[in-house]
Amino acid sequence: MTVAMAGPGGSKGARLGAALLGAERGARPGPQEEGRGQLRAAAAMAEPGDRSIHTQHISAVHNVPMRVLIRPIPAELEPDKVRSLMETLQEDPERVPPIDVLWIKGSQGGDYFYSFGGCHRFAAHQALNRETIPAKIIPSTLSDLRTYLGSSTPLLR
């Protein structure tokens, strides 16, 4: 399994690569994923109109395994929007902006990847049986997660 970290990232980039590799190893591969072991990360800058307020300062976009993402809030989806995104992903995937993912280290060093927005993009990737989804990774804390989940925040190890 290899990780290609592009652009400046220093030790933070190396830690992210290791965390994604660890998450990759910790998840069971599906039948069509057996024998595949590459996780690729690429640097990309979204167009000004495609920037998230949370990640406008982050240029690196990583192909994150769908199976490692934790999405604790049920999505309210518009089927037409999901279908439209599916078509765009098949025709010109670069037109679909990456999702934002919070990367949280647990108290015992575990890596957790939480995603709250990008519900339609996530559903479109899922419907197309994509193994990964482009994402901007936001190094975060348990306190940040508590902002989203309140007293429902789990104990992360």
Q: What is the mean pLDDT of each run of 10 residues along the chain (157 residues)?
A: 37 68 48 33 39 80 97 97 98 97 96 97 98 97 95 95
| pLDDT in the model for residue 22 | 63
Encoding tokens for residue 67? 């199976």
| pLDDT in the model for residue 5 | 36
| pLDDT in the model for residue 94 | 95
Axis crossing angle, helix 79-91 with helix 119-127, rounded to the nearest 10 = 60
State the Cα–Cα distance between residues 33 and 98, nearest whole angstrom.
Answer: 22
Place of tokens 């800058």: 45
| pLDDT in the model for residue 14 | 65
| pLDDT in the model for residue 56 | 81
Residue burial 5-20, b: 16+ Cβ < 10 Å; e: rest: beeeeeeebeebbebb
| pLDDT in the model for residue 122 | 98
| pLDDT in the model for residue 157 | 94
CB 143 within 8 A of CB 107: no
State the Cα–Cα distance between residues 22 and 103, nearest whole angstrom.
Answer: 13
| pLDDT in the model for residue 96 | 97
Helix (H) or strand (E) holding 134: strand 132-140
| pLDDT in the model for residue 11 | 57
CB 66 within 8 A of CB 131: yes
Encoding tokens for residue 13? 């980039």
CB 115 within 8 A of CB 135: yes
Q: What is the pTM of this model?
A: 0.71
Encoding tokens for residue 35? 């024998």
